[in-house]
């Protein structure tokens, strides 16, 4: 049947005009200092970005530290780059999807953590505008993700207590931070007490090729993987070490992009990859790394940077993608903070972290009253 009535045109999707950006620095005290080979954290300081448009807010946090100890970026550098370069290029403009941000972000070198916070906040805004959970916009499924704990460097006795507590709570994998002189002894103690648990170590770049004998000693403990033993910017030498080990190497710091992942997997530098969306420049790159690894038959897992509930929510949604087959680092926020900046508590039960679903997008909301009390600095970028 045809009708004589003219077809009514489908309204064109206009995208989202970003009206303004709220940029903060937030400081949350840590319940216990977190010690890794490259430094000790007693508080989590994070840049928080809220993008506003179409009456909706998209939120994300950035993962760089005050000092360049994990990777090169710093909070001070990122704040300048965001305030003076990236945010003025997007505020007052309209974007139909997160991919339309790439022409603004990709011309600039590096600074993937600063780019990520912009891209991630827009994904939240976009998913909310479509009425979708972030997970669905990304292509993930399921109502929870499997998680383990990351335990900072501590004396053997303390470590054994912490491992015991994590296992009692049902966490699905235990990751021990190691450093030169704090490696074989601690792994041996944990392995002796817990012969069958899923155990990994993370060196945060503390070793060099000359330390191969130590890494070969770690090879005897049935570890699921050894994370980032060598330099942050070195894929090549990881390939050499991987050839001399039975245990898989997992790369974290060394993987900034899908092209890094391809190079690492082609050269055999790793057999597992840790994806942190905040490290690699956002969800577009995180998904590209995920897909590259899947094509190589290599599993990935979702790392963490002691994020507040905002960053944790982003991580959980990402980790529902199919190739995140190993337990991630997004454990309960209450392990780190007395109080979080989200209204919703992100708590794992039996090693399963529920996907937050308080509305569309990231599924958690800012506790504005508490946020105000933990904000060190706030500014607004308007068109
Ligand atoms: O290498 O994964 C890392 C924390 C700070 C810097 C680097 C790392 C970490 C963690 C913490 O391991 C994981 C978490 O968020 O619980
Ligand atoms: Mg790591």
Question: Kindly report the CA angle at 278 between 276 and 281, in degrees rounded to 5?
Answer: 105
CA distance 320 to 315: 9
Check residue 372 and give its pLDDT: 98
Task: Specify the residue with its C-alpha closest to ligand 1, atom 7.
Answer: 305
- Which pLDDT score is estimated for 120? 99
- Give the Cα separation of 155 and 150 in Å (integer): 15
Paired with 170 in beta bridges are none
Which residue ranges have their beta carbon within 6 Å of ligand 1? 36, 70, 150, 202, 204, 252, 303-306, 329, 331
Residue 31, SS3 per DSSP: strand
Return the structure tokens found at 244.
Answer: 């001399």
Residues near 183 by beta carbon (within 8 Å), at least 6 away in sequence: 201, 203, 214, 217, 218
Q: What is the helix (H) or strand (E) element at residue 262, kind and residue range?
A: helix 258-266
pTM above 0.95, yes or no: yes
| Domains of the chain, first to last | 16-131+367-382 (3.30.390.10), 137-354 (3.20.20.120)
**Residue found by looking up tokens 């450093």 in the block:** 179
Q: Please identify every residue annotated as catalytic.
A: 177, 276
Per-residue pLDDT at 1: 47
Compute the distance from residue 206 Cα to the ligand 1 centre, in Å: 15
> Which ligand is located closest to the Cα atom of residue 151?
1
Give the count of beta carbons closer than 10 Å to the beta carbon of residue 113: 29
Low-confidence ranges of the chain (pLDDT < 50): 1
Give the whole-angstrom CA distance, residue 285 versus residue 262. 13
> CA 133, 136, 142, 147: dihedral to nearest 10 degrees?
-70
In degrees, rounded to 5, the angle at the alpha carbon of residue 45 between the alpha carbons of residues 41 and 50 is 155
Are 323 and 300 a contacting pair, CB within 8 Å? yes
* pLDDT value of position 221: 98
The predicted structure's pLDDT at residue 4: 67
Q: Do residues 105 and 119 touch, judged by C-beta distance below 8 A? A: yes
- Terminal Cα distance for the chain, rounded: 50
Atom of ligand 1 nearest to the CA of 252: 1
């Amino acid at each position: 049947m045809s009708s004589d009535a003219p077809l009514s045109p489908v309204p064109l999707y206009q995208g989202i005009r970003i009206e303004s950006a709220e940029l903060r620095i937030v400081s949350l005290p840590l319940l216990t200092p977190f010690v890794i080979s490259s430094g000790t954290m007693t508080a989590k300081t994070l840049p928080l970005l809220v993008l506003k448009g179409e009456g909706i807010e998209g939120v994300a946090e950035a993962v760089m530290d005050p000092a360049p100890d994990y990777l090169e970026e710093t909070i001070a550098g990122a704040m300048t780059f965001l305030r003076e370069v990236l945010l003025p290029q997007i505020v007052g403009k309209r974007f139909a999807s997160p991919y339309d941000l790439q022409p603004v972000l990709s011309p600039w070198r590096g600074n993937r953590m600063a780019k990520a916070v912009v891209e991630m906040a827009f994904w939240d805004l976009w998913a909310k505008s479509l009425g979708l959970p972030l997970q669905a916009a990304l292509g993930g499924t399921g109502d929870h993700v499997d998680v383990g704990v990351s335990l900072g460097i501590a004396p053997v006795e303390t470590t054994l207590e912490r491992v015991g507590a994590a296992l009692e709570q049902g966490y699905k994998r235990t990751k021990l931070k190691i450093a030169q002189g704090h490696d074989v002894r601690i792994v041996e103690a944990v392995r002796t007490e817990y012969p069958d648990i899923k155990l990994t170590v993370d060196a945060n770049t503390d070793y060099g090729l000359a330390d191969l004998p130590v890494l070969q000693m770690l090879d005897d403990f049935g570890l699921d993987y050894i994370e980032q033993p060598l330099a942050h910017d070195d894929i090549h030498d990881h390939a050499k070490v991987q050839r001399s080990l039975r245990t898989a190497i997992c790369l974290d710091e060394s993987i900034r992009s899908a092209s890094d992942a391809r190079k690492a997997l082609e050269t055999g530098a790793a057999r597992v990859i840790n994806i942190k969306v905040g490290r690699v420049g956002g969800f577009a790159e995180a998904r590209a790394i995920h897909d590259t690894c899947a094509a190589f038959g290599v599993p990935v897992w979702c790392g963490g940077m002691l994020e507040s509930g905002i960053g944790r929510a982003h991580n959980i949604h990402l980790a529902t993608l199919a190739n995140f087959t190993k337990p991630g680092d997004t454990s309960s926020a209450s392990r780190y903070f007395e109080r979080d900046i989200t209204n919703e508590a992100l708590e794992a039960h039996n090693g399963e972290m529920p996907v937050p679903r308080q509305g569309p997008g990231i599924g958690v909301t800012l506790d504005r009253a508490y946020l105000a009390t933990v904000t060190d600095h706030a500014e607004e970028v308007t068109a």
